[in-house]
Chain A
Amino acid sequence: MRIKSTLENYVFVLPAVLIFATFYIIPFIWVFQLGMFDWDGILPTKIFVGLGNFKEIFFEDKIWWQSMWQAGYITLIALTFQNALAFLLAWACDREIRLKNFYRVIFFIPPVLSEVVVGLVWQWILDGHYGLLNNWLLHLGLPNLVRSWLSDPKTALTTVAIVHSWKGFGWGFLIFLAGLQTIPRELYEAARVDGANAWDSFRKITIPLMIPVTVLVAILTVLGTMQAFVLIIAMTGGGPAYHTQVPVLRILASMRGSSRFGYACAQGISFGLVLVIISFIQYRFSKRARQL
Chain B
Amino acid sequence: MLRAKLILPLFLSFGIITYLAGCAPKQATKAQTSLSIWHWMTDREPAFQELAKRYEAKTGIKVDFELYAPSDAYTQKVRAAAQGATLPDIFGILGEKRDFGSFIKAGHILDLTPYMDTDSGKWRNSFFSKALAVNEFKEGNSYNTPAGIYGVPIDIMTIQMVYNKDLFKTLDLNPENPPTTFQEFLNIGKKIKETNIQGLVSGWGEVWMIDCLANNYAFNIMGQEKVLATIKGEVPYTDPDWIKVFSLFKEMQDSGVLADGLVTMINKTAEQLFANEKAVFAFNGSWCVNVYRGMNPNLNYATMLPPKVSDKFPMAIWGGAGSSFMANARSKHKEEAVKFLMWLTDRDQQAYLAEATNNLPANKDSLSRIPDILEQFANDMDITTHPNIWGVSEFPAVIEAFDKGIQSIIIGEKTPEQIAAEVQKIKERELAKKRR
Q: Do these two chains really belong together in a complex?
A: yes
**Residues of A near any B CB (own CB < 8 A):** 4, 8, 11-12, 14-15, 18-19, 22, 40-44, 60, 123, 127-130, 148, 150-153, 156, 235-237, 239-242, 253, 256-260
Query: Can you list 23 A-B pairs, Cβ within 8 angstroms, ordered by A?
Result: A11-B9, A14-B9, A14-B13, A18-B17, A19-B16, A22-B20, A42-B82, A42-B99, A42-B108, A43-B102, A150-B261, A151-B260, A153-B411, A235-B264, A236-B205, A236-B264, A239-B404, A241-B263, A241-B404, A241-B405, A241-B408, A259-B96, A259-B396
Q: Nearest CB to that of B99 among chain A residues?
A: A259
A258 to B393, CA, bound (A): 12
A235 to B263, CA, bound (A): 12
Residues in B whose Cβ lies below 8 Å from that of A259: 95-96, 98-99, 102, 396
Residue of B17, B96, B108, B264 near A150 (CB, 8 A) is: B264
Task: Tell whether, in the assembled complex, residue A151 and residue B408 are in contact, meaning their CB atoms are under 8 Å apart.
Answer: no
Task: Tell whether, in the assembled complex, residue B411 and residue A240 are in contact, meaning their CB atoms are under 8 Å apart.
Answer: yes
Residues in A whose Cβ lies below 8 Å from that of B206: 237
A8 to B8, CA, bound (A): 11
A12 to B205, CA, bound (A): 52
Q: 8 Å CB contacts to A: which residues of B11-50?
A: 12-13, 16-17, 20
Residues in A whose Cβ lies below 8 Å from that of B263: 151, 239-241
Asked if B117 is at the interface of the complex by the 8 Å CB criterion, the answer is no
Residues in A whose Cβ lies below 8 Å from that of B400: 253, 257-258
Number of A-B contacts (CB under 8 A): 108
Size of interface on B: residues with Cβ below 8 Å to A: 50
A70 → B minimal CB distance (Å): 14
Asked if B123 is at the interface of the complex by the 8 Å CB criterion, the answer is no
Task: Tell whether, in the assembled complex, residue A129 and residue B198 are in contact, meaning their CB atoms are under 8 Å apart.
Answer: yes
Asked if B266 is at the interface of the complex by the 8 Å CB criterion, the answer is yes
Q: Nearest CB to that of B406 among chain A residues?
A: A241
Main secondary structure of the interface of B (DSSP, over half): helix
A237 → B minimal CB distance (Å): 5
B103 → A minimal CB distance (Å): 6
Best-buried of A14, A151, A259 by chain B (most CB within 10 Å): A151
A92 to B431, CA, bound (A): 60
Residue of A11, A44, A60 near B6 (CB, 8 A) is: A11
B75 → A minimal CB distance (Å): 7
A242 → B minimal CB distance (Å): 6
A15-B13, A151-B411 are known contacts. Are A43 and B106 too (CB-CB below 8 A)?
Answer: yes
Task: Tell whether, in the assembled complex, residue B397 and residue A41 are in contact, meaning their CB atoms are under 8 Å apart.
Answer: no
A119 → B minimal CB distance (Å): 10
A258 to B404, CA, bound (A): 14
B101 → A minimal CB distance (Å): 9
Asked if B435 is at the interface of the complex by the 8 Å CB criterion, the answer is no
A21 to B154, CA, bound (A): 44
Task: Tell whether, in the assembled complex, residue B72 and residue A256 are in contact, meaning their CB atoms are under 8 Å apart.
Answer: yes
Residue of A129, A235, A256 near B75 (CB, 8 A) is: A256
A250 to B95, CA, bound (A): 18
Residues in B whose Cβ lies below 8 Å from that of A152: 411
Asked if B386 is at the interface of the complex by the 8 Å CB criterion, the answer is no
Residue of A40, A44, A241 near B407 (CB, 8 A) is: A241
Asked if B259 is at the interface of the complex by the 8 Å CB criterion, the answer is yes
A239 to B397, CA, bound (A): 16
Best-buried of A41, A237, A240, A256 by chain B (most CB within 10 Å): A240
A8 to B76, CA, bound (A): 42
- Per-residue contact bits, chain B 411-434, to A (CB 8 Å; 1 contact, 0 not): 101000000000000000100000
**Residues of B near any A CB (own CB < 8 A):** 2, 5-6, 9-10, 12-13, 16-17, 20, 72, 75-76, 79, 82-83, 95-96, 98-99, 102-103, 105-106, 108, 198, 205-207, 259-266, 269, 278, 396-397, 400, 404-405, 407-408, 410-411, 413, 429
* Complex A-B, nearest 5 residue pairs according to Cβ-Cβ distance, in ascending order: A258-B396, A42-B102, A128-B260, A151-B261, A240-B263
B9 → A minimal CB distance (Å): 4
Task: Tell whether, in the assembled complex, residue B102 and residue A40 are in contact, meaning their CB atoms are under 8 Å apart.
Answer: yes
Residues in B whose Cβ lies below 8 Å from that of A123: 269
Residues in B whose Cβ lies below 8 Å from that of A150: 261, 264
Residue of A44, A130, A241 near B411 (CB, 8 A) is: A241
Task: Tell whether, in the assembled complex, residue A239 and residue B264 are in contact, meaning their CB atoms are under 8 Å apart.
Answer: yes
Q: Nearest CB to that of A17 among chain B residues?
A: B13
A43 to B102, CA, bound (A): 6
A127 to B279, CA, bound (A): 14
A11-B10, A257-B400 are known contacts. Are A4 and B99 too (CB-CB below 8 A)?
Answer: no
A260 to B397, CA, bound (A): 10
B287 → A minimal CB distance (Å): 20
A8 to B6, CA, bound (A): 7
Residues in B whose Cβ lies below 8 Å from that of A256: 72, 75-76
Residues in A whose Cβ lies below 8 Å from that of B6: 8, 11
Residues in B whose Cβ lies below 8 Å from that of A242: 404
Residues in B whose Cβ lies below 8 Å from that of A130: 278
Question: What 8 additional pairs, Cβ within 8 angstroms, besides A43-B102, A43-B105, A44-B106?
Answer: A22-B20, A40-B98, A41-B83, A151-B264, A152-B411, A239-B207, A240-B264, A258-B400
A129 to B258, CA, bound (A): 12
Residues in B whose Cβ lies below 8 Å from that of A128: 260-261
A261 → B minimal CB distance (Å): 9
Residues in B whose Cβ lies below 8 Å from that of A40: 98-99, 102
A8-B5, A11-B6, A151-B264 are known contacts. Are A241 and B413 too (CB-CB below 8 A)?
Answer: yes
Task: Tell whether, in the assembled complex, residue A4 and residue B261 are in contact, meaning their CB atoms are under 8 Å apart.
Answer: no
A156 to B205, CA, bound (A): 13
Q: Nearest CB to that of A56 among chain B residues?
A: B433
A242 to B411, CA, bound (A): 12
A237 to B278, CA, bound (A): 23
Best-buried of B75, B103, B396 by chain A (most CB within 10 Å): B396
A167 to B236, CA, bound (A): 46
Q: Nearest CB to that of A38 among chain B residues?
A: B433
A42 to B81, CA, bound (A): 10
A287 to B207, CA, bound (A): 47
A8 to B10, CA, bound (A): 10
A17 → B minimal CB distance (Å): 10
Residues in A whose Cβ lies below 8 Å from that of B198: 129
